[in-house]
């Protein structure tokens, strides 16, 4: 397993279609991929090339603003969950070296009467780039819709009602993260662009990055390079889903390695959508995923409690 083609490529239109055979085949291929590797590539995911190019243009403009302007939007009281997080602030769980990146978080927007409206951190808006805010919100909403389709397919695979996750993730504490890995100026001394980690959330939808570097570790322990194919996104399982399914669905460890020295001068941009449930959702292992061969591996916890633990482990909250 040493090429991008080792992760399956699926077409979301097969699931959305009225063709029962195509839909069931999509569900089975999706479930198999998430049991074995935890990653797949997906086409027809709801965004056009024009929208993606517009977002990347705005992201490029933001990260090229002067440091003193970007710093206005870094608000420690938001625990790194909204707005700007400066270079070197985030560490992967269990690592002492900080990742070689800076990033921006677009978060959920709730209705005023939603009981969680005061629990989530408020969004931050960039005054200098109004279209940055606008296009970020558009992409957030589009990928949230795509994520719900994927979760419906997963629910079907787990023999749950198709809409099992719908209300649990609508208004969830999801995040669209725009990441900038700046050019590497000096010897990293053990630091990498993103150290090996598992994502916190239910699923992650990763738009095509501007450069290679993403690697995923299979269940067998092999590392394989992963790049979104043209007009596709990469979608992977996060730790919350792995926990909920008692590790039936695999949250793969992945990393972004540093480029060869000849490419140190080149920046890298990446935009993942981290799909979170509402904070009150139970992550207790599903009964359908517990049996004699796979006894319960995890203690009971809610999504909000689990997120709180991980934010502290990442160094974003004291």
Give the residue, 261 or 192, on which the prediction is more confident: 261
Tokens of 309: 């633990």
CATH, range 4-313:
2.60.120.330
pLDDT band (50, 70, 90) for residue 5: very low
Kindly report the number of other CB atoms within 10 A of residue 221's CB atom: 7
Q: What does the pLDDT average to over 87-94?
A: 70
Q: What does the pLDDT average to over 98-107?
A: 87
Domain ranges of the chain: 4-313
| pLDDT value at residue 241 | 96
Work out the percent of the chain whose per-residue pLDDT is above 70. 89
Q: What does the pLDDT average to over 189-203?
A: 78
Kindly report the number of other CB atoms within 10 A of residue 99's CB atom: 24
Tokens of 91: 């560490």
Give the residue, 4 or 51, on which the prediction is more confident: 51
pLDDT band (50, 70, 90) for residue 239: very high
| pLDDT value at residue 193 | 66
Backbone angles phi, psi at 197, to 5 degrees: -160, 165
Q: Where are the alpha helices (DSSP H) in the chain?
A: 12-16, 20-36, 49-63, 67-70, 130-157, 166-169, 239-244, 303-313
Q: Is the pLDDT of residue 57 over 70?
A: yes
Q: Where are the alpha helices (DSSP H) in 105-218?
A: 130-157, 166-169
Q: Is the pLDDT of residue 315 over 70?
A: no
Radius of gyration of the chain (CA): 19
Give the residue, 65 or 193, on which the prediction is more confident: 65
Q: What does the pLDDT average to over 73-97?
A: 81
Q: What does the pLDDT average to over 43-52?
A: 94
Q: Is the pLDDT of residue 33 over 80?
A: yes
| Closest residue by Cα to residue 147 from 108, 93, 180, 195 | 108
- Crossing angle for the helix pair 130-157 and 20-36, nearest 10 degrees? 100
| Closest residue by Cα to residue 15 from 192, 157, 125, 144 | 157
| pLDDT value at residue 192 | 61
């Amino acid at each position: 397993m040493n090429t991008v083609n080792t992760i399956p490529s699926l077409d979301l239109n097969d699931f959305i279609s009225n063709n029962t055979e195509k839909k069931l085949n999509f569900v089975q291929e999706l479930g198999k991929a998430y049991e074995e590797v935890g990653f797949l590539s997906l086409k027809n995911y709801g965004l056009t090339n024009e929208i993606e190019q517009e977002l990347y243009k705005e992201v490029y403009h933001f990260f090229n603003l002067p440091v003193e302007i970007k710093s206005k939007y870094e608000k420690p009281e938001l625990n790194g969950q909204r707005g700007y997080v400066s270079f070197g602030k985030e560490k992967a769980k269990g690592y002492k070296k900080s990742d070689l990146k800076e990033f921006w978080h677009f978060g959920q927007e709730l209705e005023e009467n939603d009981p969680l409206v005061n629990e989530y951190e408020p969004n931050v808006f960039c005054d200098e780039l109004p279209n940055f805010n606008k296009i970020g919100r558009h992409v957030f909403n589009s990928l949230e819709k795509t994520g719900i389709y994927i979760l419906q397919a997963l629910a079907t695979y787990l023999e749950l009602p198709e809409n099992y996750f719908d209300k649990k993730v609508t208004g969830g504490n999801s995040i669209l993260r725009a990441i900038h890995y700046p050019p590497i100026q000096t010897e990293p001394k053990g630091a990498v662009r993103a150290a090996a980690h598992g994502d916190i959330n239910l699923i992650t939808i990763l738009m095509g990055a501007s450069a290679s570097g993403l690697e995923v570790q299979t269940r067998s322990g092999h590392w394989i390079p992963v790049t979104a194919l043209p007009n596709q996104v990469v979608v992977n399982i996060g730790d919350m889903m792995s926990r909920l399914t008692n590790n039936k669905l695999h949250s793969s460890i992945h990393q972004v390695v540093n480029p060869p020295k000849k490419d140190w001068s080149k920046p890298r941009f990446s935009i993942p959508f981290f799909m979170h449930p509402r904070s009150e959702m139970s992550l207790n292992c599903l009964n359908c995923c517990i049996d004699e061969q796979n006894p319960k591996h995890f203690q009971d916890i809610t999504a909000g409690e689990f997120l709180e633990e991980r934010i502290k482990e990442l160094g974003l909250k004291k």
